[in-house]
Chains A and B, each alone.
Chain A
Amino acid sequence: AQSVTQLDSQVPVFEEAPVELRCNYSSSVSVYLFWYVQYPNQGLQLLLKYLSGSTLVKGINGFEAEFNKSQTSFHLRKPSVHISDTAEYFCAVSESGGSEKLVFGKGTKLTVNP
């Protein structure tokens, strides 16, 4: 079974500052990894995904994440955030080539202050 730990439940930052949202996972098999963003009263939007290949994955809205197999981590980064990035971010894992089930972390609420 897989599990995901998002280490910070809330991250406040100032506009134009860099941000890193941390995600660690646990799995006994190979995994796919995802980051989703949820704006208030909306569904989830896929930011980026790691299936295989290059460990540095670039996504939409200037976000990127790095897969680190030895540390079982998949941290999300953005070099300069905007007010509009204020949202909740979810890290998710699924078994590669197996069940379609996504296992989500509890989420990190990112608040960007002016």
Chain B
Amino acid sequence: KAGVTQTPRYLIKTRGQQVTLSCSPISGHRSVSWYQQTPGQGLQFLFEYFSETQRNKGNFPGRFSGRQFSNSRSEMNVSTLELGDSALYLCASSLTGQNYGYTFGSGTRLTVV
């Protein structure tokens, strides 16, 4: 079956712009989480959605937001981009949550110039 699909794979944006990243979870999975991966900070949790509701949120500024649709697809948005937002953004899906383990997508590589 299809895995977790993230689009686009690569993105270059200018400081001050905003960006939207998309994630299509595995069919039937209702939990979607987002992580930011950078060389300096490693993997950091952004937020998690379950059945269109945000269940958990990490320690990121309000410029980072997300949502989940009724078909479980999820988007995350970053407004007023800063150079430090350059990172690999990973989406992960699970049937209901951590008990089942998360399957990660290949990520979206965002470069802010």
Contacts and interface: CB of A to CB of B under 8 A. Distances in A.
Interface of A: 32, 34, 36, 41-46, 49, 51, 90, 92, 94, 99-107
B101 interface: yes
Contact of A100 (B4, B42, B56): B56
Contacts of A90: 43
Interface of B: 4, 31, 33, 35, 42-43, 45, 48, 50, 55-56, 58, 90, 92, 97-99, 101-107
A94 B97 CA distance: 11
B34 to A, nearest CB: 11
Contacts of B99: 32, 51
Given A44-B92, A100-B50, A106-B42, 8 more contacts: A42-B107, A46-B101, A46-B102, A51-B99, A100-B48, A101-B45, A101-B58, A102-B102
5 A-B pairs closest in CB distance: A43-B104, A104-B43, A44-B104, A100-B48, A101-B45
